[in-house]
Structure 1
Amino acid sequence: MRAKLPVLGLVVAAWRDVLGHLAGLARIAWPYYALALALSLLAMAGRAGGPTSGGGLIGAIAPALGEGTAEIVLSLCVVACAVRWQRHVVLAEPLRGIAPLDGRVLRYALWNMLVGLVAALPLGAAALLGYATGAIVRTPQAEAPFTIGFAGIGLLGLGVAAASFFLMRLCLVPVGVSIDDRAMGLQRSWAATRGNGLRLLGIMLLLVLGFGALATAAAGLQLLVVVVGPENATGAILVATSIVEALLDLLTGMAGASALALVYRTLAASGAAIRPPEA
């Protein structure tokens, strides 16, 4: 008999795991955030210097190393920490040292992309069907490149639902990469999650709702500090709020990684077509 995933309980457990290990999360992530902060301050200093700073060191490197580079660093941080976090959940590895950018992280990112592309196939098929039947019409001369009728919206809605279902059924593959379970592939993940597709969708929806609530709170905080903050401190305030948003992104990323790891651990423990990872 296959185990049934506890939707709400698993989401609560994922958040409890993250909030209960904030010190460990800080240990594995802080160098990335220190680098991103330095890059943001560098870009802010370059802007403050204006054209007159163009001959200095800051003026020379600020355009190349600014907010865009800081965002890349933070994105790499989330991916590297997700791998370390899933090993913490499944293999009980301690959260020590910086989360490394190594071959495992690269494989994790590539497999996430592959799973996303496979899961997107139903959405692509729905779009092609809508285009072939006239439900979606290309309008190159208009402001919007495509006109979508009610039938097209319905087709795309079904495509999104099917893509989400595929994504959930294949969600164990990246976790397998994180913990070096080389036998975990697309077919095996599909078999292991059989009977839990809708529950996995429920877990995803609850996580998305939580992420949305945190994003709304962060946006409200940024608007508040910009409106009521002193004019001469606007740049510093924006950097501070950007840091808060980045920290929330890290928390939500780890909550999602923890939830998927708990799904893996639950299904593995139930003997649902997955062997426990080797020590």
Structure 2
Amino acid sequence: MDGRAVAPAAGTVLNALATGTGSAFAIDLETTATVSLTSDGVVSGEIAEEPDADASLIERCVDLTLERYAPEAGLERADVGAHVRTETEVPMASGLKSSSAAANATVLATLDALEIADAVDRLDACRLGVAAARDAGVTVTGAFDDASASMLGGVTVTDNTADELLAHEPVDWHALVYTPPERAYSADTDVSACERIAPMADLVAELALDGRYGEAMTVNGFAFCGALEFPTGPLLEALPDVAGVSLSGTGPSYVAVGDREALETVRGRWGERDGTTRLLRTRTDGTRPT
């Protein structure tokens, strides 16, 4: 049996590293996972764009999903294995939640292969991917904020210490993403530096829970650029034209939201920098089997 699912990337409203509370929103860049069940009990994985890359995250996603749900599909876990392959539009280690998208797509593709995807609560599926990310060591916080935004679509606010959804709202925004050439791995982040800006993160959380996402993003952007030593130039180049702008995740990407005309103007400024700019829309449909 084969299963297939796609999951969107996400941008940051509030980085959860300071306090455990985070917020993110889904954007229109996709990761696709294809899972083929086998009868040998072995789980293997590959990443199409980087065949030599570590596939432990997606393999762990399959393993946890089979452990939890194979019996519900009438199968013995010891008798069922799988091969998973992911393909993605999301640049890795860019702050655009590539790991969360890969985990969500893999979990749902596995459920699709088991033919029970429609019977499983999406947040339960999301939590499996978060657990796999922790096991694989690709996240510091568990990234429930990023994963929930990718799984549900729209914007979410979460308590990552309890994997609890605090708020969820569909949003229809234009989003501009600037990704410099370098990479930044979440697991290498200076957490202690982020914890020192906890009072600013508390303010961002208040703004986000009040629906003031653009202001929340901008405060988050300046605070975390300071903590993580990323340049604030891209933020200043976007203001005051955009509704909000932030460092996305632990960088190096930046994301801005606003009306299309304003973002086109900012795209011209960001386009003078080394790297890639993308003008996208937000996503409200989240992760889904295909």
TM band (smaller chain): under 0.3
TM-score (norm 1): 0.23
Structure index of larger Rg: 1
Pick the structure with more strand per residue: 2
